[in-house]
A and B are shown apart, each in its own frame.
Chain A
């Protein structure tokens, strides 16, 4: 319980720091929003009027306190351009980003787990080195490059999965899912290597443990020993990394979302940046940071579910 409280306190501190940081960054530095809103031809008086209207003439800290008060109550402001409430804009796009990220992680895991196990089991052998080399190559393909290459090869040359418009889930699971396959693969291209390496390293350690020898001494087949005895204790670090990646991907899929025209949070952010729509940018950044910290928090709890040692430690403490 105390542990949980500590984590929640941390969560609050981080959110506070991030909001303050982005607020200052967006509000104190040059490129005042009032000029943007008024347009290039506006006179200085018009700009001042807008500033007063937006309350920009008051001290930064006062504005931050006010903004924070509204923010906590769920009022994140409205877009300068579309007048859409920022909260609504984010929440309507979040499911798309979430789905993209989940599909991407599923692909990454499908690649990482078997190859990680194989590499660990044959550590130092040809198979291991081949996987490591493939990993290096895969890791050296930036996601936007992977996206372009996937479109070129899979959609254009092979004619599979023509790049399709995003369809909501209501249009059917396949119609919805097929728009995510290539973007998720582009993201998974680099992600799987990180997961695979972490799993491999931990699996090598676990395979040298006595309890693995004991399991083998029971006469269990190798695959049973690896899957039932070794995989779980070897996957804790991988799950942490997975969590970190999910947190990162909320914001990291910006490019992929814009290449594949997926209406997610990342695309909202990049469009807001192109349009210099500061209120939206601020809201999205805070939202992404919040998601990141929250995901970490959840991963930490998940840890406790997976590892009975931590579970009792925490129950006792």
Chain B
């Protein structure tokens, strides 16, 4: 085991609002080794996008990162470095892909320029070379007629094609870490797997580290080495994908798994949805945040927040639950 490429220790992100302090991300710790793929899973509003933006340094001005946390990337703490040094990491260090390619590409700038301007800034690439590299990258991400597309504007491309362009943009500076924030949520179902396959291939070919953010545990299953499940701003269960699926401990993770349609279940069986709503993040309940929606909750769950504890069989697998599920009990979930 080498030193992790990215290590988050007790990272929080709060938003100031007239109603009070919104704890969008609350004490997250997770680490990721070079070349690994981490699946960050949670419902919308669980704080996964905010966490991505916190790592990326893209928070709005009304956000605050409380002291005491650290984001260590390649040995440097991203939260304490000066702006210029931090900017030098965005691009060649960490790249990002956003959820909606309809809004994440600049509508009034040619695609080629959007792809190569990062290279120009970081490596001083000339315009001509940059354009050439942009065409190569567009070819690589599977855009037909890249030499034509390079001079077009985003609105002339379909959603799936735009997301491929967004991937090309992120790859342009050869980042060590790529954060893909729900890269397929806004796309047609038919092109979703194409995008995910492309990401996976690029990750393997380049030996890149990847954080794949999604609300769909099914997406994570075949593609990630490691999974972290987020709920209400905190990580509630994390471990290797294999262990997490095979030995699901946290009740929330189980509820998420139950809501995925599966082929091995009887047809026409009603899918389970998780009742209730995520808690208010301005004044979160003192205990386990999932307790109000959990069928197994008791007085202890409502009184105190469960600490992260390691799974008996796999110390890398940890979870926060007072009444964890017994992994030996049911075996049908084994992937």
Q: State the A residues within 8 Å of B (CB).
A: 208-211, 213-221, 224, 228-229, 232-233, 306-309, 312
Residues A214 and B169 in contact in the complex (CB < 8 Å), given A219-B87, A312-B156: yes
Interface centre among A217, A220, A221, A232 (most CB of B within 10 A): A217
**Min distance, Cβ A128 to any Cβ of chain B, angstroms:** 11
Answer whether residue B166 sits at the interface, using C-beta atoms and an 8 A cutoff: yes
Cβ of B166: which chain A residues have Cβ within 8 Å of it? 214
Report the separation of the CA atoms of residues A312 and B87 in the bound assembly, to the nearest whole angstrom.
35
A216:B106 contact, CB within 8 angstroms: no
**Min distance, Cβ A148 to any Cβ of chain B, angstroms:** 42
B106:A218 contact, CB within 8 angstroms: no
Residues A306 and B103 in contact in the complex (CB < 8 Å), given A218-B90, A218-B118, A220-B118: no
Partner of B117, one of A213, A220, A307: A220
Q: How many A-B residue pairs have CB under 8 A?
A: 84
Answer whether residue B201 sits at the interface, using C-beta atoms and an 8 A cutoff: no
Report the separation of the CA atoms of residues A294 and B117 in the bound assembly, to the nearest whole angstrom.
38
**Min distance, Cβ B15 to any Cβ of chain A, angstroms:** 14
A219:B89 contact, CB within 8 angstroms: yes
**Min distance, Cβ B78 to any Cβ of chain A, angstroms:** 12
Cβ of B169: which chain A residues have Cβ within 8 Å of it? 214, 218
Residues A309 and B155 in contact in the complex (CB < 8 Å), given A211-B107, A216-B90, A224-B121: yes
B108:A308 contact, CB within 8 angstroms: yes
10 closest pairs, A vs B, by CB?
A219-B90, A219-B91, A218-B118, A210-B104, A308-B153, A210-B103, A217-B96, A211-B106, A219-B87, A309-B155
Cβ of B91: which chain A residues have Cβ within 8 Å of it? 217-219
Answer whether residue B130 sits at the interface, using C-beta atoms and an 8 A cutoff: no
Identity of the chain B residue whose Cβ is nearest the Cβ of A215 in the assembled complex: B106
Report the separation of the CA atoms of residues A229 and B108 in the bound assembly, to the nearest whole angstrom.
8
Given contacts A214-B105, A215-B106, A217-B96, 15 further A-B contacts (CB under 8 A): A208-B60, A210-B100, A213-B56, A213-B104, A216-B58, A216-B90, A217-B170, A219-B89, A221-B87, A221-B121, A228-B109, A306-B108, A309-B107, A309-B155, A312-B155
Answer whether residue B92 sits at the interface, using C-beta atoms and an 8 A cutoff: yes
**Min distance, Cβ A208 to any Cβ of chain B, angstroms:** 8
Q: How many residues of B contact A (CB 8 A)?
A: 35
Cβ of B118: which chain A residues have Cβ within 8 Å of it? 218-220
Cβ of A213: which chain B residues have Cβ within 8 Å of it? 53, 56, 58, 96, 98, 104
Report the separation of the CA atoms of residues A309 and B105 in the bound assembly, to the nearest whole angstrom.
13
A219:B121 contact, CB within 8 angstroms: yes
Report the separation of the CA atoms of residues A312 and B56 in the bound assembly, to the nearest whole angstrom.
34
Identity of the chain B residue whose Cβ is nearest the Cβ of A224 in the assembled complex: B121
Report the separation of the CA atoms of residues A210 and B102 in the bound assembly, to the nearest whole angstrom.
9
Cβ of B323: which chain A residues have Cβ within 8 Å of it? none
Cβ of A312: which chain B residues have Cβ within 8 Å of it? 153, 155-156
Partner of B95, one of A215, A217, A228, A233: A217
Cβ of B56: which chain A residues have Cβ within 8 Å of it? 213, 217
Report the separation of the CA atoms of residues A268 and B42 in the bound assembly, to the nearest whole angstrom.
71
Report the separation of the CA atoms of residues A221 and B84 in the bound assembly, to the nearest whole angstrom.
8
Q: Which of B138-171 contact A (CB under 8 A)?
A: 153, 155-156, 166, 169-170
Identity of the chain A residue whose Cβ is nearest the Cβ of B88 in the assembled complex: A219
Q: Which of B100-131 contact A (CB under 8 A)?
A: 100, 103-109, 117-118, 121-122
Identity of the chain B residue whose Cβ is nearest the Cβ of A211 in the assembled complex: B106
Cβ of A306: which chain B residues have Cβ within 8 Å of it? 108
Identity of the chain B residue whose Cβ is nearest the Cβ of A231 in the assembled complex: B108
Report the separation of the CA atoms of residues A208 and B53 in the bound assembly, to the nearest whole angstrom.
13
Identity of the chain B residue whose Cβ is nearest the Cβ of A207 in the assembled complex: B60
Interface pairs (24), CB distance under 8 Å: A209-B103, A210-B103, A213-B53, A213-B56, A214-B96, A214-B106, A217-B96, A217-B170, A218-B91, A218-B173, A219-B87, A219-B118, A219-B121, A219-B122, A220-B117, A220-B121, A228-B117, A233-B107, A306-B108, A308-B108, A309-B107, A309-B108, A309-B153, A309-B155
